Chain A
Amino acid sequence: MTLFEAIYVTPPALTAQAPILVVAGPLIGASAAALSPGARTAWMVSVLTAAFALWMSVAVVTEVAREGVVDYALGGFAPPLGIALRIDALGATLALLIASVGLLGALYSGHALSSEVYPGKHGLFQAGYLLCLAGFLGLVFTGDAFNAFVFLEVSSIGTYALVAVGEARDRRALPAAFNYLIFGTVGATFYVLGVGFLYGATGTLNLVDMSVRLAALGDNFAVQAGLAFIVAGLGVKAAIFPLHGWLPGAYAGAPSLVSVFLAATATKSAIYLIVRFVFDVFPTGGFGQTFLALIVAPLAAAAAIVCSVQAIFEKEVRRILAFSSVAQVGFIMLGISLATTGGLSAGVFYLVAHALMKGALFMGVGALAISVKARTVEEFYGLGREAPWSAAAFAVGAASLAGVPLTMGFLAKWSLIAGALEAGALWVVATLAVGSLLTLVYVGRLLEAMFFRAPLPGATRAHEAPFGVLVPLLVMAGLSVWFGVDSSLPESLSRASATGLIGSAR
């Protein structure tokens, strides 16, 4: 974080307001996008809004680097009466990630959308996209348990519709979106239930106030069950095995922009909230960590193995990537449930790495599918020659996913295993090793199809994606490489996140 301490990107008056602007900016932008007369205007609104959110996120990150934690009381009321934003290092990291992916996604949508969504719906689509962006950003910034639910729903309601829009390409998007809506709403309601129990036991919704009161309260069934419901509810959104049933269909069916954005941010923000509750709200070393270690960690390990195997046997590229996401969430949760500084920091690092690589992969799939409607692995045969740049970016993302050295994915796996070794959790090391091996198998299959196979006879020739699609794709893939060679930026952010949550002592 020391990197950011001396950086000032905004005038002081704006810096003080930056936290709320990160969230309110996209909300206002969404309205503007919905009001835009044409597809082009809506796209420009989307890009400008996302850029603004990124700018403000950077301002918040620099402020967090200086202050440690940034508080922002909304409505001028001090918490717990009013709602407060509370941004710690982890929240700032996530915001930076979400806003960056948001901007790249917005840029990408300029061309990618036209082949997937009717032009007349672009304005609404961009509005929905910005609402999702606002929702995820709000989720990682809020310091209020119920406000988090509201932002969870802001992002979710938008997401359901955006996934369903994928019907224009593939009608299976519709049942997938419906499924997602059912799962997601049950999850959100579980979260509300859990918050209800915590509220019943503490009388407050402010997370800081809640943690103070929980520490004084000691063990209580309402509190423990409350956490269980919160983790289960958020676990649906985070696609923690076995609550991931909605994910493969949704990622496979959604328009590629939505898949990119969801894969890179949706599960991540839910994971963030779980971490927040377990490590920040619940007392250190208390029930929350026990719950993670005893319930979540075994499930995460199961996900890392089972879903990797499922990915190996999938035929459709997007579904392979989707199952891979579930498995990778397992990796992340394994790191987090170690509950050590090393493990948590590795989990956060992995989270960022995974967001970037999956973003590049889904963008790559979208770029490759612009000229040919390639869906299955067979239809990907030979695309490596026909669309070399898109394929190369895809390959970089895949390499990072597989953990090839000098990509961010390698460092992520490295720090995860190092964290597990440090914590003495050898079974985690073994799981990670086997999971990585399985990852290599399906990644190898994808790359073999693209680069070492001749196109199927009769397949239409693919063309390179347009420039506007290629640039964000290459940037996204480039980030995976850059951070793989010099990881000081994400490393320091994740380290600060972990020490902010559980201290550097352990």
Chain B
Amino acid sequence: MTVGELLILLALGLPLFAALVTFAVGRMPDVRETLMLVACIALCIITMSIFVRAGAGDPPEMMIAQPMAGLEFAFRIEPLGALFGVMASVLWAINSLFSIGYMRGKREPSQTRFYMCFSLAMFGVMGIAMAANLFTLFVFYEILTLATYPLVTHKGDAAARRAGRIYLGTLVGASVVLFVPGIIGVASIAGSTTFTPGGLLPGGTDPAIGNMLLLLLVFGAAKAALIPLHGWLPAAMVAPAPVSALLHAVAVVKAGVFTILKVSAYIFGPELITALPAATWVLWVAAATIVIASLVALSKDDLKARLAWSTVGQLAYISSAAMLPFATGLAAGGMHMVVHAVAKITLFMCAGAIYVATGVTRVSQMAGAGRRMPVVFTLFLIASLSLIGLPPTAGMWSKLLLVNASFGSGEWATAAAMIASSLLSIGYLLPVAFRALFAPPTSLAPDFVRPGGTPGPALVAAILTGIGCIGLFTGAEYIADYLEPLGAITLLETAP
């Protein structure tokens, strides 16, 4: 067994091991959570070394089984996947820290099942990140869906059950009806489903078939929440805050856009994407999604719902990037994936922290709350800036690159939608932090329902990601370099 294979097995095995351990020592919360944190940190180390190896031109790969000819169960790491893996594992570790604080603070029931499913979801994410072909990716994609289902229905009441049904129905339904036929279509044309740099499908693919396959695969990845397959995402807001953070930042939605990026880069390839009219159709849908989601977010008073709709819009940015007939789009999309993840997880952790401390969920009730929770709302402000795309946060770079790529490829509608959405996001994000921090306290200002306010671990986690939002502002170039194999970008050239 080579080192690369060992790394792959460890990356897959650690979350599984964490799930098993959680199950085994479920009755001892302290042991359970300590072991889990250890597993998280170990996983971070593993993914980082994979990241380094992949960057150094020695991508780990491994073949597990071949159920049928042209159908392989195999792993191979490429830059996008390595990036996704690192991002997911680091944010998982932070989110675990946050979860511990949140769950203990709320005294939630069935925590063991909660942490077990969390680890299983991570298992799915690792598989997605390292998959060598569409089939393997699909397998882990479905594992992720199933592992997160109990998380969404965690409360166990009728509303949670209903949300779970929408969640599972949309995601699995789209997979079965759209994604699987798409994969099989790819396999029957190309003879395999392996991710191939430059595109697996031959350049001369019949446009009619190409269009169909592209639409099947893009909409089949319903985790990317393009309208009209976005309904599951706001519905899943019934879940506890750490779950929302996992869904919206680390695992589920990112798996969706990651799939679209991979499909675009390695199944179709830039050339075929440029040639296919369906790519433009997707761009229009994405542009519409961006604008509509931002407008809906503006109308929501519930903080988590507002953030969820914001996610719908931000995901469409990345989906757009994958469809841009311009190679830089892919790298920009990859970068935005990371940037948005860090920002969104911060926002959700802040929302969770506010909820645990004060029991408040509505934006209108938060005026003046910043006086009592300055750190939380400052972090919220920083993450908001990143999401809007203002310096000194990482969001600036990725948004700039995205808009630039859109202009560069002549997609004015997309560029316009992105700009409009950024302006709208100022409208729905900044007032939250500003009114909490700077508005005079009113009689409506919430009190702590929990003595001591935000639990310590939760606060530490939010601070870490908040720092990340700023840190990535300086580190963005490194990411851009790393993603160069997908399409060269230089920050200095593209930046005005």
Contact = CB atoms under 8 A, between A and B. Distances in A.
Interface string B48-91: 00000000000000000111110101000000000000000000
A149 to B, nearest CB: 37
Interface stretch (B97-105, B168-176, B475-483): B168-176
Interface in B166-202: 168, 172-173, 176-178, 180-181, 184-185, 187-188
A16 B188 CA distance: 41
A403 B138 CA distance: 12
A413 B69 CA distance: 15
Chain B CB within 10 A, most for which of A404, A433, A486: A433
Interface residues of B, number: 24
Contacts of A418: 184, 187-188
Contacts, number: 62
Interface in A429-451: 429, 432-434, 436-437, 440, 444
A440 B69 CA distance: 26
Contacts of B66: 486
A404 B142 contact: yes
Nearest to A491: B68
Chain B binding surface, main DSSP class: helix
A485 interface: yes
Chain A binding surface, main DSSP class: helix
Contacts of B176: 403, 433, 436-437, 440
B24 to A, nearest CB: 16
Nearest to A432: B181
A429 B181 contact: yes
A484 B173 CA distance: 22
B139 interface: yes
Interface in A310-340: none
Interface string B231-252: 0000000000000000000000
A219 interface: no
A471 interface: no
Contacts of B68: 411, 414-415, 487, 491
Contacts of B138: 405
A484 B188 CA distance: 19
Contact of A487 (B67, B135, B172): B67
A502 interface: no
B177 A486 contact: no
A192 B92 CA distance: 67
B65 A444 contact: no
A485 B172 contact: no
A411 B67 contact: yes
Contact of B180 (A413, A452, A491): A413
B177 to A, nearest CB: 4
Nearest to A403: B176
Chain B CB within 10 A, most for which of A429, A484, A491: A429
A437 B173 contact: yes
A300 to B, nearest CB: 18
A403 B175 CA distance: 11
Given A404-B142, A406-B73, A418-B188, A434 B180 contact: no
Contacts of B139: 405-406
Given A414-B180, A421-B184, A433-B180, 18 more contacts: A403-B180, A405-B135, A405-B139, A406-B67, A406-B139, A411-B67, A411-B71, A421-B188, A429-B181, A433-B178, A437-B176, A452-B150, A486-B65, A486-B66, A486-B67, A487-B67, A487-B68, A491-B68
Interface of B: 65-69, 71, 73, 135, 138-139, 142, 150, 168, 172-173, 176-178, 180-181, 184-185, 187-188
23 contacts: A404-B142, A405-B135, A411-B67, A411-B68, A414-B180, A417-B181, A417-B184, A421-B181, A421-B184, A421-B185, A432-B181, A433-B180, A436-B176, A436-B177, A436-B180, A437-B172, A440-B172, A484-B67, A485-B67, A486-B65, A486-B67, A487-B68, A491-B69
